[in-house]
């Protein structure tokens, strides 16, 4: 609480990105800035970065089918002790329940299908919903406990 009071949340930062993988670097830089301002430890920052990149890659690849005319919404914010990342796409949506378990033996050697698993592993809360105009809205939250602010968090 003390750290949160000295580093108040600056309010969400919102970006609209074209569906290009190059924009992952821009999003990562913004997350790094938010983490620095909020006093987030380097380990927690790293794992949030991995989750952010997975979310954006999914939105670009599977949501918007790499159509650069379609945009990806990104919001970085959250309350005092939480970082919340929201990613939206303009795609057709998908059924989360249809995603195969990457830990199942039959899926272990597949070359894809681990992105959502990594997001769920590295973040504390991951939810999917449909956008008002279609597409998928992904919300991820990371709680910032004292250990994470010190940078000692591991998966």
Partner 1 sequence: MKTSVTARDAGDIKIIELHGKITIGAGDLQMREAIHSAISGGAMKILVDMKDVTTIDSSGVGELVGCYTTATHKGAKLKLQNLPPKISDVLTVTQLITVFDVFANEKDALASFG
| Cα 133 off chain centre by | 21
> Which 9-48 positions form the footprint of partner 1 (CB under 8 A)?
21-22, 24, 46
Least spacing, CB of residue 90 vs partner 1, in Å: 19
Q: Does the protein bind partner 1 through residue 128 (CB under 8 A)?
A: no
Quick check: helix, strand or coil at residue 49?
helix
Asked whether the beta carbons of 87 and 16 are under 8 A apart, the reply is no
Q: Does the protein bind partner 1 through residue 100 (CB under 8 A)?
A: no
Least spacing, CB of residue 84 vs partner 1, in Å: 21
Least spacing, CB of residue 61 vs partner 1, in Å: 7
Q: Does the protein bind partner 1 through residue 102 (CB under 8 A)?
A: yes
Asked whether the beta carbons of 110 and 35 are under 8 A apart, the reply is no
Rounded to the nearest 10 degrees, what angle do helices 115-122 and 42-58 cross at? 150
Q: Does the protein bind partner 1 through residue 129 (CB under 8 A)?
A: no
- In this structure, the number of other CB atoms found within 10 A of the CB of residue 149 comes to 18
Q: Which residues bind partner 1 (CB under 8 A)?
A: 21-22, 24, 46, 49-50, 53-54, 57, 61, 102-103, 108-115, 117-118, 121, 154-155
């Amino acid at each position: 609480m003390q750290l949160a009071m000295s580093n108040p949340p600056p309010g969400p930062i919102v970006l609209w990105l074209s569906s290009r993988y190059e924009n992952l670097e821009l999003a990562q830089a913004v997350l790094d800035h938010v983490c620095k301002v909020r006093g987030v430890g380097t380990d927690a920052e790293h794992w949030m970065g991995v989750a952010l990149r997975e979310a954006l890659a999914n939105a670009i690849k599977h949501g918007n089918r790499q159509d650069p005319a379609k945009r990806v919404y990104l919001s970085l914010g959250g309350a005092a002790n939480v970082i919340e990342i929201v990613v939206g796409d303009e795609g057709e949506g998908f059924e989360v329940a249809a995603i195969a378990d990457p830990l199942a033996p039959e899926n272990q050697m597949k070359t894809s299908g681990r992105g959502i698993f990594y997001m769920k592993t590295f973040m504390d809360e991951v939810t999917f919903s449909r956008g008002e105009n279609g597409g998928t809205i992904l919300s991820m939250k990371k709680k910032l406990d004292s250990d994470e602010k010190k940078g000692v968090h591991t998966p």
